[in-house]
Amino acid sequence: MLALEVQNLKKVYPNFTLGGISFSVDEGQIAGLIGRNGAGKSTTLRSIMRLISSEGTVKVFGKDFARDEETVKAAIGYVGGGFRSYPNKSLSAVANAVAAFYPHWDGEIFKRCCEEYSLVLSKKVRELSEGMKIKFSLALALSHGAKLLLLDEPTSGLDPLSREDFCDTILSLKGRGVSVLFSTHITSDLMRVADQIIYLSDGTILADEPLETLMKRYRLKLFASLSDANAAHTIGVKRVKDGFEGLVTSSEGREATLDEIMIHLEWSRRQNESAY
């Protein structure tokens, strides 16, 4: 079953357009929404949550978001890049207010999460580090039994150890059958946890496939000249120190990293755009 199904999601700003993107996330899968700053990752997640008005349809576990807004939101845990609301309120005050919205809120799970994440409920939100804010958001989401987590750049601003903790937490959620869509531009986090990659560039999807397939599809090859690279139908040819480099779909060349795949696909998109 699909945990999330997005069809023709479109949002037009004066200087940016999210161009009618479609993708889906299977139940129990961890999908990474990746792209450079300004690629449209936050716009996508905020459009899914209807925080911004946009065109297109969103279905969560088969239910239409616009039609069953309350039911669908009850199944989602949304973390908009750390917990930035109510800085002067205590964690317990926020949790009490949030609990009232969820009929299936489990105080025991919340308590357990707080213990696991070392969250002190008497602390105020502003007293938490960025990493702890993420953990507080996750504790809230898990306590109402969210089946789908939408996380907007949860690892931005976290130190490597906190990012590692976050990845461990996400992997443990997968074990509990929770589906996750999280945006990031830190590819090492994706390599660690993601099953699926959705690569967004300038409001369009350049790649949407399982991580393993994506990594196997492309290899990186170095050419002595541009004409050699073009003759080999290389994708996203770029000048490098020793010649020209690009992605090839043959078995030649070396294994490409996710960063390199991203860079060359982006470069290819720009070349195609400038050609038109």
Partner 1 sequence: MKALIKKEFSLCLHPTAFIFLAFAALVFVPNYPYEVIFFFSGLSVFFLSLAARENGDLAFTCSLPVKKRDVALARVIVAVMFQCTLLLLTALCIVLKQRFFPQTVLINLAGNSANLAFCGFGALVLGAFNLVFFPLHFSEPNKVGVPFVISSSVQFALIALLILIRHIPFAAPIASPDPENLGVKLAVLFTGLILYCIMTVLAAWVSMKKFEKVDL
Residues near partner 1 (CB under 8 A) are 46, 49-53, 69-71, 73-74, 76, 78, 80, 84-89, 93-94, 96-98, 100-102
Q: Give the residue with the Cβ less far from partner 1, 53 or 251.
A: 53
* Cβ at position 214, least distance to partner 1 in Å: 30
Read off the DSSP letter of residue 257. P
Q: Is 83 helix (H, G, I), strand (E, B) or coil?
A: coil
Q: Give the residue with the Cβ less far from partner 1, 89 or 269.
A: 89
Q: Give the residue with the Cβ less far from partner 1, 12 or 120.
A: 12
Q: Is 73 helix (H, G, I), strand (E, B) or coil?
A: helix
* Cβ at position 144, least distance to partner 1 in Å: 8
- Enter the tokens of residue 124: 């105020």
* Cβ at position 98, least distance to partner 1 in Å: 7
Q: Give the residue with the Cβ less far from partner 1, 124 or 269.
A: 124
What gap in Å lies between CA 103 and CA 223, rounded to an integer?
Answer: 61
CB 73 within 8 A of CB 104: no
Q: Provide the phi-psi class of 49: left if phi over 0, else alpha when psi is between -120 and 50, else beta.
A: alpha
What gap in Å lies between CA 47 and CA 44, rounded to an integer?
Answer: 5
